[in-house]
Chain A
């Protein structure tokens, strides 16, 4: 894949990146520019660059240990990059001071709350530390996610703790929202509610960065996807672009028997099998040429499956000769 090869070359990654200019031309909400992070001598992430514009959701996808959380922690200033720059609203995280976190909402991946507090006490405490009045939004979100804020956090289930984590990330109406594995522990109804919430704030102009190893979640929420693997950025593109590169299966049904030979010259086809009047083929990329030739041979029906992001993801990661497909 051509795009991928260029991304793998370090030079190209530096080069394609124009500091402080996102894909929309405005200053991006979140920007990572060639960020490398070593923990002692072991690598966290290497030369990772991506950005998120306001009004956009970027899904950070990758198997466990790929560096998603490291990238997020660099953006939040919880860890310092070994090299490269992380920026929020065009300001360097390292030198911007704590004020720039005022406009950021963050849901940690391994969420830990102050267990001795009640839900309300906890949210009030964070609001006081943020020096913001969040009461209206807190009540609204508590209603929406059906949380009893009067109970001690210690006594809440994992899912309910996660809901409180969601509320604290959104309660001060931040313009930049960073969510690390946000739906872990949420039941399907609450997951749906959460997806709606992310969609709303995105439409209101917020930038959302969310990490996940669950493809369906990213597929439902994200406009663009950045895929990390072994600390490196594999690709960063829109869901549509990614899907177009995905491997799909086409089942072509003909009026009479056909020979696979007639289709072998087509570049989109990576594998083909004939069973009587049926041709099963594996296709990558644009399939119009395949369909045109099929029509010439008397095509009667086509069956295809919309490729899931998972397939696209596995195809990309497999391509890098890694063994992560089972872990993803």
Chain B
């Protein structure tokens, strides 16, 4: 790994990283600000939701909606946060080496006395660092917000869900990075990885409704990250392990792909 590449990647994108952090904070603040009204009408709300079709409640994993963890699970961590992390990660992953190739700077970068493996791992490290930063901001933002609205949250559960969600992003970011190393084209890597993420999300959401889709859940990164409802149940060790192994596997694939790659036209 080459620290100069990591730092330069972060430095040249600090604006977009800041924007994502602000976005995360804004959404957290908005959701938390709305929570008191949900809580005030808890009885009505629970009754209201009880009338929802089972399918809809299952789809949005609406467990105990009016409770703090239930509210945040549904509103923040079932779709919003995962998709934001995936957006950040796929943007970074696809532009890692494929971005250099698209811009034409790969020629210079890969003719330097740095191994290709080192370049890929440095780019991956920058991506993971950004996810960690945005995840930390989300964690801190929600934690700070709960002081203003009365939400009972276990700190370690909040940490568990933030880590799991950021790692879910990392999985699809690693897909994008791998495809970028394989094909050398940013748009292709971004397109396929986003399509895969959306497909996984749909399969995860629809699984409670369509019987046979349930069989696929054990292979779905969304299930690994949020299937066990970490805000209620805390750390899901196997889920985190699967996420981590998948990221490592994909990064290993990216190293192999970049070492075999012919650069340029």
Contacts and interface: CB of A to CB of B under 8 A. Distances in A.
Do A and B belong to a common assembly?
yes
Interface of A: 39, 69, 73, 76-80, 97-102, 104, 106, 108, 110-114, 116-117, 125-126, 128-131, 168
B6 to A, nearest CB: 12
B111 A126 contact: no
B219 interface: no
Contacts of B147: none
The 5 closest A-B pairs by CB, nearest first: A112-B104, A79-B262, A102-B113, A101-B113, A108-B107
B264 A73 contact: yes
A108 B263 contact: no
B185 to A, nearest CB: 15
A73 B263 contact: yes
Contacts of A113: 105, 108
Interface string B222-265: 00000000000000000000000000000000000000001110
B263 A130 contact: no
Interface string B71-112: 000000000000000000000000000000001110111111
Given A73-B264, A78-B264, A129-B112, A114 B105 contact: yes
B195 to A, nearest CB: 26
B168 to A, nearest CB: 30
A79 B260 CA distance: 9
Contact of A98 (B103, B114, B263, B264): B114
Question: Per DSSP, are chain A's interface residues mostly helix, strand or loop, or mixed?
Answer: mixed
17 contacts: A73-B264, A77-B110, A77-B111, A78-B107, A78-B263, A80-B262, A97-B115, A98-B112, A99-B113, A101-B112, A104-B111, A106-B108, A108-B111, A112-B107, A116-B12, A129-B5, A129-B114
Nearest to A39: B262
A73 B111 CA distance: 9
Contacts of B262: 39, 78-80
Contacts of B112: 98, 101, 126, 129-130
Given A78-B111, A108-B104, 18 more contacts: A73-B263, A78-B110, A80-B262, A97-B115, A98-B114, A98-B118, A106-B111, A108-B107, A110-B104, A110-B107, A113-B105, A113-B108, A125-B4, A129-B112, A129-B114, A130-B113, A131-B113, A168-B108
Contacts of A98: 112-115, 118
Contacts of A114: 12, 105
B8 interface: yes
A118 B224 CA distance: 44
A112 B114 contact: no
Contacts of B103: 112
B111 A101 contact: yes
A303 B117 CA distance: 62
Given A99-B113, A112-B103, A125-B4, A79 B264 contact: yes
Contacts of A73: 263-264
Interface in B1-49: 2, 4-5, 8, 12
* B5, B103, B112, B115 — most chain A CB neighbours (10 Å): B112
Interface in B103-149: 103-105, 107-115, 118
Nearest to B262: A79
Contacts of B2: 129
Given A106-B111, A112-B103, A112-B105, A128 B12 contact: no
A104 B107 CA distance: 13
A108 B4 contact: no
B8 A125 contact: yes
Contact of B4 (A79, A100, A129, A168): A129
Nearest to A178: B111
A89 to B, nearest CB: 13
Contacts of B118: 98
Contacts of A76: 111
